Amino acid sequence: MKVGFIGLGIMGRPMCKNLLKAGYEVTAFDPFAKAALDDVVSCGAVRGESNADVASKSDVVITMVPNSPHVREAIFGANGVAEGAKPGLDIIDMSSIAPLQSKDIAEKCAEKGINMMDAPVSGGEPKAIDGTLSIMCGGPKAMFDKYCELLNVMGASVVHCGDVNGAGNTTKLANQVIVAVNIAACAEAYELAIMAGVDPEKVFAAIRGGLAGSTVMDAKVPMMLDGNFKPGFRIDLHIKDLNNALDTGHGVGTPMILTSAVQEMLQWLHNNGCGSDDHSAILKYYEKITGVEMRKLDK
């Protein structure tokens, strides 16, 4: 199976490298990430010259780009995937985009004889590196079955969420709402602890194994305690996802009260120069309000 990979950012680069490690023949391209492209080529990928070139050399093309306009450009733009596609080409869009956009793009692909499945991921850079992402797929079950083994190279959990294109992205939006609200709750709770004179590291040790414990807490609270906001998942990208969640929620008529509150925190952080920080930097919002840093007491 010949695989094309378009988009070599924080997530795409290690995902592509995991496919290479598993023995897949990969042609890669990213016009905005020359160093990352050089890196995957050094690991065995074929250097693509354009998105169309990648498509012409592939049985299936994976796109991993920031948002729906970038997916549209990669597929339908000048020198896009559609220009180089052979009849029956499959596209797995692993970007996180609005579900209705995903459905529309899939319909336009079908008009050109191209099959598409949406398969957004969760887990951030660490899980992209070690190949343990959660992958949420929407589209025909037959296409999911065809590529399940391929996706399992990049993920520890690969789930078919529905036969309709966009089902994967709807699931991803639900994931992003829960992650954002969870991080905000952690920031609020641990800021409470330190302002009440209790060591937040001991609070973390005491409650992480109970009902309040979560994968989010285990991943993000140690970063908060260390003051380490190196991005595994940037605030600006989470703003994008929550905008999509709010738009979708408003469209279907569900209240998005907690999502709206956290989005305001993220937007404030973006406006104050923190957009490229990890989303664990929601803590900075609370620290700005209180004037008190939450850190390990020995720091």
Say if residue 186 is in the same domain as residue 65. no
Question: Is residue 298 one of the residues assigned to a domain?
Answer: no
Say if residue 250 is in the same domain as residue 156. no
- Chain-centroid distance, C-alpha 162: 19
Percent of the chain residues topping a pLDDT of 70? 99
Phi–psi pair at 112, nearest 5 degrees: -100, 10
Q: How far apart are CA 260 and CA 281, in angstroms?
A: 17
Domain count, the chain: 2
Domain closes at, from 140, 165, 190 = 165
Domain closes at, from 134, 165, 196 = 165
Per-residue pLDDT tens digits for 139-195: 999 999 999 999 999 999 999 999 999 999 999 999 999 999 999 999 999 999 999
The yes-or-no answer on residue 172 being catalytic is yes
Range of the domain at 249: 170-290
| Angle between helices 215-226 and 200-207 in degrees, nearest 10 | 170
Structure tokens at 294: 């939450």
Question: Is residue 297 one of the residues assigned to a domain?
Answer: no
Residue 217 sits in a domain of what CATH number? 1.10.1040.10
Question: Is residue 60 one of the residues assigned to a domain?
Answer: yes
Say if residue 141 is in the same domain as residue 192. no
Q: Which of 172, 220, 240, 284 is catalytic?
A: 172
Question: Is residue 136 one of the residues assigned to a domain?
Answer: yes
247 within 8 A of 212, measured Cβ to Cβ: no
Q: How far is CA 137 from CA 27, 174, 244, 270, 279, in A?
A: 23, 13, 17, 30, 24
Residue 65 sits in a domain of what CATH number? 3.40.50.720
Q: What is the pLDDT of residue 298?
A: 61
Q: Is the pLDDT of residue 123 over 60?
A: yes
Say if residue 221 is in the same domain as residue 275. yes
Say if residue 128 is in the same domain as residue 69. yes
Q: What is the mean pLDDT of residues 249-267?
A: 97
Q: How far apart are CA 110 and CA 139, in angstroms?
A: 12
Q: How far is CA 273 from CA 127, 223, 229, in A?
A: 26, 19, 13
3-state secondary structure of 26: strand
The pTM (predicted TM-score) of the whole model is 0.89
Q: What is the pLDDT of residue 297?
A: 67
